[in-house]
Structure 1
Amino acid sequence: MRPRPLYDVVAVLARLGVGLVFMAHGWQKIEAGITATGRSFDDLGVPLPTAAAVYAAFAELLGGAALIAGLALPVTGLLLFADMAGAFVFVHAGEGLFMVDGATVENGYELVLVLGLASLLFAAGAGGRLTLDQWIVTKRLRRSDDDEDDAASFVKSLRQAETQNETQADPQTEAKPRRKHRARRSAKNQPPAEPAEPAGPPALAEGSEDDLLVAGPRKAGRRQRARGARPAETAPDDADKDDSA
C-alpha cells in the first residue's frame, strides 16, 4: 500500500511534466500562427483544419497550464485526451509507433499515445490532493460548516429572545414559584403545634339526674309487671292440662 503523501508528490510531478509538454506544443502552434497551423492540418487530411487548429492550440496551451495547477482536472483531462485522439486518428496512426527511427523522422504515435492516456488518467482522478480543485472543495466545505454554525447560533438567539419576551409578558409565572417557596419556608420555620389535650366525658345537661331517677323506677315497675304477667299467660296452659287429665 502506497503512502498518501508520497503519491500526492508524484502526482504533482507527473502533472507538471505532462502539462509542460502540452503548453510547449500549444505555444508552438500559436507562435506559428493559427492560419499556418490550419494549412498544415489541411495538408495532413484533418477535417475542418482551421477549427481544429484553434482547438488544438488553445486546448494544449491552456489545458497544460490547468493540468499543472490541478484546476478542473476531469474536464481538462477529457479535452486534452480528445485532442490527442484526433491527432492519433488523423495524423499519426499510419506512421508507426516511433517518431524517429534511426536518422529518419517517422512521425509515429508514441508521443500522442502517452500524452492522451496520461490526460485520461488525470481526468479519472489520479491528480492527487495537491490541486486547486481540492483546495476549492475544502474551502466550500468549511464555508458550509461555518454557515451551519451561524444558522444554529441564529436560531438559538431567536429562541432565547422568545423565552425572554414570554417571561417579560407574564411576570406572574415567576411570582408563583416564589410565593410557593416562601410559603414552604414559613411552614418550615413555624414551631410544631402542641398536641391537644384529650377531652373529658361530656357534661351532663340540666335535669339529667332527675331523668335517671325517674327512669330507674319506671324500668323497675315494668320489670315487675312483666314478671307478674308471665304466670297469667301460662295459667290457661295448666288448666288445659288438668282438663285433659
Structure 2
Amino acid sequence: MNQSSLTTTAITALRIVLGFLFAAHGWQKFNEWTIAGTQTAFSQMGIPAAEVAAPVIAVLELAGGIALILGVLTRVVAALLVADMLGALFLVHAGAGVYADKGGYELVLLLGAAAFVLALTGAGRVSVDRALFGRSQSKLAVLA
C-alpha cells in the first residue's frame, strides 16, 4: 500500500470506530439511562443546565456518531464532539485521576483527541463529505 492508501484506511477506520463509540454512548443516554435519568445524573455530577445539556449531548453523541461513521459534516461534528469531551473532562472526570475504572478521564481524553484529529483532517476519501463536497481532507492535512 502507498502512503495515500494507508492514510485513507487509517482515517476511515478511526472515523468508523469513533463514530460507533459516540453513537453507542448517545444511544445509552436515550435507551438505557433515559433522558430523565441522564438529566438526573448530569445534575448530580454538577453539570450546569443539566435539563438542557442531557438531551443536547445525547443527540450530539448519537447523531454525531452516525455522521462520523458516514463521513457527513465530519469537521463540524468532530469539533462539537471535542467540545463535548472537554466538558466531560473538566466538569466531571479531571478530579478523579487518569483511570476510567475510578471515574477518571482516560476515555474522554482519548475520544476527544481522536475527534480532534478528525476535525483537523476531515473525513477522508471514503466518505459522504468527499462525495458531496469533493474534498477529502483539510488544508492542514495536505501540508503534513
Structure-1-length-normalised TM-score = 0.52
Q: How far is the alpha carbon of 1:138 from its aligned partner?
A: 3.3
Q: Answer yes or no: is the 8 Å Cα contact 2:123–2:129 preserved in 1.
A: no
- The answer as to whether partners of 2:39 and 2:51 remain within 8 angstroms in 1 is yes
Shift of 1:62: 0.5
1:115 to 111, 114, 139: 111
1:49 paired with 2:45, answer no
Alignment of 1:80-91 (within 5 A): 80-91=81-92
- In 2: Cα distance, 1:50 partner to 1:129 partner: 39
Question: Following superposition, which runs of at least 4 residues in structure 1 exceed 4 angstroms of deviation?
Answer: none
Aligned to 1:21: 21
CA contact (8 A) 2:39 2:50 kept: yes
- Matched to 1:56, the amino acid is I
2:78 corresponds in structure 1 to 77
Q: Describe the superposition over 1:128-163 as per-residue Cα deviations: whole angstroms up to 9, x where unpaired.
A: 211111111239xxxxxxxxxxxxxxxxxxxxxxxx
Query: Where does 1:1-245 land on structure 2 (aligned, <5 Å)?
Result: 3-31=3-31, 32-100=33-101, 106-138=102-134
Q: In 2, Cα distance between the equivalents of 1:131 and 1:89? A: 32
Rounded Cα–Cα distance in structure 2 between residues aligned with 1:52 and 1:68:
24
Q: How big is the shift at 1:126? A: 4.6
Residues 66-101 of structure 1 show CA distances to partners (whole Å, capped at 9, x for unaligned) of 01111001110111111111111111010000012x
Q: CA deviation digits over 1:167-213, x for unaligned, max 9?
A: xxxxxxxxxxxxxxxxxxxxxxxxxxxxxxxxxxxxxxxxxxxxxxx
Per chain length, whose mean CA-contact separation is higher, i.e. which structure has more relative contact order (CA < 8 Å, sep 6+)? Answer: 2
SS in 1 for 2:103: coil
Alpha-carbon distance between aligned partners in 1 of 2:29 and 2:130, rounded to the nearest angstrom: 32
Residue 13 of structure 2 aligns to which amino acid in structure 1? L
What residue identity is the alignment partner of 2:69? I
Indicate the percent of aligned positions where both proteins have the same amino acid. Answer: 39
Aligned Cα root-mean-square deviation (Å)? 1.4
Asked whether the equivalents of residues 75 and 122 of structure 2 are also in contact (C-alpha less than 8 Å), the reply is no
Amino acid at match of 1:130: V
Counterpart CA distance in 1 for 2:42 and 2:51 is: 8
CA distance in structure 1 between the partners assigned to 2:109 and 2:129 by the alignment = 26
Distance 1:110 1:92 in 2: 9
Which amino acid counterpart does residue 3 of structure 1 have in structure 2? Q
- The number of residues matched between the two structures is 133
* Matched residue type, 2:54: A
Bigger radius of gyration: 1
